[in-house]
Amino acid sequence: LQSPDRCCVSHQLFDFYVDKVFRHCRTEDSYINRKISSIANSFLSIRRNFQHCQEQNKCVCGQESLEKLKQVLENYEGLNVTAAAMKALGELDILLDWMEKES
C-alpha cells in the first residue's frame, strides 16, 4: 500500500477495533477483561494521533483500500456480535505485525 493508504487503512482499522470490537469483548474472567480494556485504551490513544493526520487530509483512502475495508466490515457483521469481536481480538496480532512491518 502507498503511504496515504497505509495511514488510511490503519486509521480505519483502529476505528473498527475501538468502535466495534472492544465494545463487545467480554469474558467471564475479570483479569482478561481488564487486559482487553487496557488494550482498548491504548488504541484510543493511538486513534487520537490518527485524527491529526485525518484533519490534515494526510490519510486519504484509495479505492482498493476502501474495498478491503468494506470486506472486513461485511465479514465481521456476518457473524454474531460477540463471536465476531472475540475473533477480531484473536486476530489482533496479525494487525500489529502488519503495522510493525509497514512502519
For 19-74, the pLDDT digits (tens) are 999 999 888 999 999 999 999 999 998 888 877 777 777 677 888 888 888 998 99
Rounded Cα gap, residues 38 and 57, in angstroms? 29
In whole angstroms, how far apart are CA 88 and each of 11, 12, 71, 75, 80? 16, 14, 14, 10, 12
Q: What is the pLDDT of residue 34?
A: 94
Is residue 2's pLDDT more than 70?
Answer: no
Is residue 77's pLDDT more than 70?
Answer: yes
Q: Which alpha helices (DSSP H) does the chain contain, by range?
A: 3-16, 30-55, 63-77, 81-90, 92-102
CATH of domain 3-102: 1.20.1250.10
Rounded Cα gap, residues 25 and 22, in angstroms? 5
Q: What is the pLDDT of residue 3?
A: 65
Is residue 4's pLDDT more than 70?
Answer: no
